[in-house]
Amino acid sequence: MKKLQTLLIILVSLTLIACGKGQEINGHNTRTAYRSVKAIKNRLPDDKRIEFEVSFWTIRDAQKGDDEFLDAVDGKNPDEIIALGKEIYQQRKAAGFKDYAQYSSWDEMISKFSQERIDQERHNIKENSPKDKSNDLLYKL
């Protein structure tokens, strides 16, 4: 009976430890990193989600090698990823990175991406498409 209690305590402890890393990126390999980013992204509020996504992909773009990239993101939570993304943005902006020339600040870039996302969602709302009309069954009585 004592062994069963010990085993149960160990299993509960391991479960709690595993659940505690739910807001951190698993940088074991690129597949697990992308999977954990997707899970984290889906739990974030909308206003923080885009900033997190942009930061993550900014880091990915800055770190060309997989090992360097995984070392940079492994174990980081969303706030740390956003801070690292902002840092890379500032470095690139100061270095004259041409893609950032159109933005005066990080916040302006994020707000532009947020507006683009809103526009995409509005555009993707299904309207009556020809496919829907061909599958529509209306009986004339």
Can you give the pLDDT at residue 120? 85
Kindly tell me the burial class for residue 55, based on how many C-beta atoms sit within 10 Å of its own C-beta (0-12, 13-18, 19 or more): buried
Query: 56: Cβ–Cβ under 8 A, 6 or more apart, which residues?
Result: 37, 73, 81, 85
Distances (CA, A) of 107 to 54, 70, 74, 111: 11, 26, 25, 6
> Phi first, then psi: what are they for 64, rounded to 5°?
-70, -40
Q: Which residue has the higher pLDDT, 6 or 7?
A: 6
pTM summary value: 0.72
Distance (Å, rounded) from C-alpha 54 to C-alpha 86?
Answer: 10
**DSSP sequence for 97-108:** -GGGTT-SSHHH
pLDDT (tens digit, 9 = 90+) per residue, 46-95?
889 999 999 999 999 999 999 999 999 999 999 999 999 999 999 999 99
The pLDDT of residue 140 is above 60: no
Tokens of 34: 């992308």
The pLDDT of residue 135 is above 80: no
Q: Which residue has the higher pLDDT, 1 or 74?
A: 74
Task: Using the structure block, give the residue that is written with the tokens 């933005």.
Answer: 103
The pLDDT of residue 45 is above 80: yes
Tell me the H-state helices in the chain: 2-19, 30-43, 46-62, 66-73, 78-94, 106-123, 130-134
pLDDT (tens digit, 9 = 90+) per residue, 87-128?
999 999 999 999 898 999 999 999 999 898 888 888 776 555
Q: Are 81 and 51 in contact (CB under 8 A)?
A: no
What pLDDT band is residue 26 in, cutting at 50, 70 and 90?
very high
Can you give the pLDDT at residue 66? 94
